[in-house]
Amino acid sequence: MLTRRGFVKVGGALFVSLGLPAGSRGSLEQTSLDPNQLTSWLEIRNDNSILVRTGRAEIGTGMSGFYAQVIAEELSVRPEAITLIMGDTDKTPDGGYSAGFLSGAANLRKVGAYTYQALLGLAAKQLGVPATALTVADAIVSGGGKSVSYGQLVQGLHLDLKIPVTGKSAKFATAGANGVAGLDWEGMDGLIVAGDPPMKPVSQYKVVGTSFPVPGIPDKVSGKTHWSCDVRLPGMLHARMVRPATLGSTLISVGEVDKKRFPAAEVVRKGNLLAVVSPNEWEAIRAAQAVAAATKWTAWSGLPGSENLTKTLREYKWGAPDQSRGNAADVTAALTNAPKTISVSYEQPYVKHAPIGPFLAVADVRSDETVIVWTHSAHSQALRARIANMLGTRVEKVVVRWLEHAGQFGRTTFGGDGAEADAAILSQLTGKPVRVQWTLQDDLAWSATSPGWVSDIKAGFDTHGRLTALHSVFYSPHMLDARPLGAILAGMPAGTTKPGGFLATEWPYDKIENRLEQVYATPNIGTQPGAESPTGGLRGLIMRTPGQRQQNFALESLINEAAAATHADPIQFRLRHTTDTRLIDILNATAKAAGWETRPSPHPNARRSGSDAMSGRGVCIMVRAGSYWVGIAEVAVTPATGVVQVTKFTIGVECGKIINPRQLDRCMKGGLVMGLGEALKEEVTFDKEKVTSTDWSRYRILTMQEMPEIKVVQISRDDKGFGGGGEAPNALAPPAVAAAFFDATGVQPRRIPLTPAYVTTLLKG
């Protein structure tokens, strides 16, 4: 594995370079690092500090800390010694999307493990001690009564360690794959470090499992972080977009800039992409408002209105399912023969990623056709491929530089749907660097959106009240339209989008013998033949815990209804339908922590009217990415007002080996807050023309006062590897809160959000 090419004075650094297997050179065009040089994943400095490069980015979940922890573990160094360079297509080797630890850290762990072996080999030679007799702590290798630091080992040394790599960089594909508009599925993960280097056994972990502080936090707190919104370039113009009047309007005439009021402002237009630019940001804002008021757009009214979403989905002529899992014949037979069945439908609205910082980007399209884009996209390589395709230039001409910005919860996993296309087009047209800052209204009205769903579930029981068959059918607009809005509006290449529904549920109930799950997807709402929106209609996109969030709401609500239908305690009912000890253990631990009283729902005193608050409790579970969660909600429902208050929420999480207990606690509580917003408040509203929930008074997320007491129970397991622990608690809130509402009132909510208006209607029956 280790080849030494000789000793060269290179400032005392050990470079671990990117080596590509023969025959894969084509993929090099997607990365700016030249593998023939000692381009690096990792550099060890004389002072034992270590620089690590990854194409993944910090997306606000503490990932930069987790990466440092697992690399430090493999290298036997302190995590403080590690500095990360992230998400820059010029300076990082691998690409890939930043959606979580599991996919993001795999490369770095292996690179760390390969490097560790190389360093042991070097130390063995230098110390004259067999590698097997060496020990390492905090970058000091010891053996035979002697010791040497990593920094000393690599002093004056040029070590060429080849890292085997497979996979591909992100690549544009017009039709997309798996339904992802404009992106080849193959390059989603970027380059992948291959092979099987010896990894540190869990029993020897010193850093993983501790609450290592996230490295970027001190700078964020003191105001030193350089965010993507802070990029300022010489000669840069500020831009504000003037968006079409409706989701399907085209431009008739452009309002003029009043040069007396706005002397430096200019209108820039390409197709239906319209903006006002100025060197002065406030002038750009004011002039854009004036231009917008005087600009004329065609009329369009191709949306159904959010109040008609379910009806619209019901009326759609569905063909074959996009995905189907399970045995249709067995399920049909079991349901037919079951002595008792229940049939239930559930609904969920469109919801938004809704970052606190609206999207922005800076682009500099230079006269030599070099394009530099500053972004906070979670997939720099995919964004680069999209921008190159849109501008009709080679991918090597485009550099994407990632910087931190507001959490966006999956909106840029596929590298699209940001302000980067707007910025690149405007920079190309003006010949200057352009900073595009979307307004909150732009972001809430025009960004891609996690679509609404309807689900039909039929369940069959045996004579003992056990579930014997379950048939789940999910319908929704698809959620893989990651085309950049700017490209669509400007009429530039953005790829096409086609429906692609996917089954996301990981099945926890192995004792339910017969199951069939089917998922169907429509094109975007607002693109029906005859009224097709030229701007893509309501573009659907994934959001935190995608697919499973929606499917688990339906599945777990059904399980709660099934427990109630058989007068069973909902936790006992679940325990009877699984043999998975990981699930059983976390269910029992969470129930204990929550003080769960074993009894069926609803509560004997449940009431659907009156002005006193009724209390109730409910449970749900989820299995995803090698992890298990349990959510137990306690609510107070006031029937007379329809107000639902979540008073306490207990989360149980078992995600294999826990990397950072404090950050896991933070991710659980934060995710739950987001999910409670979905359960109680969040809904994208739209009329026949446009989205109408375009500020925080109309797209309402949870406030601090609405946050319940939250308790988190963690189980760490040394024998199950790492799971994806942080993402999913948002999906725990809706089914648990709905179940608690049922416990309090005896009425099962089958849609969210549980707003006072909906609750009042629901309780009136």
Partner 1 sequence: MASELTLTVNGAKQVVSVTPETPLLYVLRNDLKLTGPRFGCGLAQCGACAVLVDGQEVRSCIAPVSSAVGMRVTTIEGLPGVWAAQKGLSAADAANTLHPVQQAWIDEQVPQCGYCQSGMMIAAVQLLAKHPNPSVAEIKDAFTNTPPSPHLCRCGTYAAIIDAVQRAAKAMAA
Query: Least separation, in Å, of the C-beta of 626 and partner 1?
Result: 22
Tokens coding 730:
């948002």
Nearer to partner 1, 404 or 420 (CB): 404
Nearer to partner 1, 181 or 406 (CB): 406
Query: Least separation, in Å, of the C-beta of 222 and partner 1?
Result: 6
- Tell me the pairing of strands 340-348 and 453-461: antiparallel
N-term to C-term CA, the chain: 70
Nearer to partner 1, 34 or 230 (CB): 230
Query: Least separation, in Å, of the C-beta of 547 and partner 1?
Result: 21
Query: Least separation, in Å, of the C-beta of 76 and partner 1?
Result: 25
Tokens coding 396:
């090597």
Query: Least separation, in Å, of the C-beta of 314 and partner 1?
Result: 32
- The whole-angstrom distance between residue 445's C-alpha and the CA centroid of its chain comes to 20
Nearer to partner 1, 199 or 285 (CB): 285
Nearer to partner 1, 612 or 695 (CB): 695
Query: Least separation, in Å, of the C-beta of 703 and partner 1?
Result: 4
**Cα separations in angstroms, 718 against 79, 378, 568, 588, 668:** 20, 30, 34, 19, 20
Tokens coding 192:
């992948």
**Cα separations in angstroms, 609 against 600, 680, 681:** 21, 19, 22
Nearer to partner 1, 146 or 226 (CB): 226
Query: Least separation, in Å, of the C-beta of 401 and partner 1?
Result: 17
Nearer to partner 1, 242 or 672 (CB): 672
Question: In a 3-state reduction of DSSP, which class is residue 669?
Answer: helix
C-beta of residue 471 within 8 angstroms of C-beta of residue 172: no
Query: Least separation, in Å, of the C-beta of 281 and partner 1?
Result: 5
Is the peptide bond preceding residue 529 cis, with omega within 30 degrees of 0? Answer: no
Query: Least separation, in Å, of the C-beta of 282 and partner 1?
Result: 4
Query: Least separation, in Å, of the C-beta of 218 and partner 1?
Result: 5
Determine the length of the chain.
765
Query: Least separation, in Å, of the C-beta of 654 and partner 1?
Result: 21
Backbone torsions φ then ψ of 517, nearest 5 degrees: -120, 135
CA atoms of 405 and 419, how far apart (whole Å): 13
CA atoms of 625 and 240, how far apart (whole Å): 40
Position of tokens 């089914």? 735
Tokens coding 72:
């430090």
Task: Give contact residues for partner 1 (rule: CB under 8 A).
Answer: 59-62, 211, 213-214, 216-218, 220-223, 225-227, 229-230, 232, 281-282, 354-358, 404-407, 409, 437, 439-440, 662-663, 666-667, 669-674, 695-697, 701-707, 710
Question: Which residue from 183, 144, 188, 196 is spatially nearest to 168, judged by alpha carbons?
Answer: 188
* Interaxial angle between packed helices 420-430 and 380-391, expressed in degrees from 0 to 180 and rounded to the nearest 10: 40
Give the burial class of 764: count Cβ atoms within 10 A of its Cβ; 0-12 exposed, 13-18 middle, 19 or more buried.
Answer: exposed
Query: Least separation, in Å, of the C-beta of 675 and partner 1?
Result: 9
Tokens coding 334:
């079991």
CA atoms of 144 and 126, how far apart (whole Å): 12
List Cβ neighbours of 162 (8 Å cut-off, separation of 6 or more).
Answer: 1, 3, 17, 19
CA atoms of 273 and 424, how far apart (whole Å): 12
Where does residue 584 fall: left (phi above 0), alpha (psi -120 to 50 degrees), or beta otherwise? alpha
Nearer to partner 1, 42 or 542 (CB): 542
Nearer to partner 1, 47 or 695 (CB): 695
CA atoms of 604 and 607, how far apart (whole Å): 9
CA atoms of 42 and 679, how far apart (whole Å): 44
Query: Least separation, in Å, of the C-beta of 194 and partner 1?
Result: 33
Question: Which residue from 599, 713, 693 is spatially nearest to 653, judged by alpha carbons?
Answer: 713
CA atoms of 621 and 407, how far apart (whole Å): 25
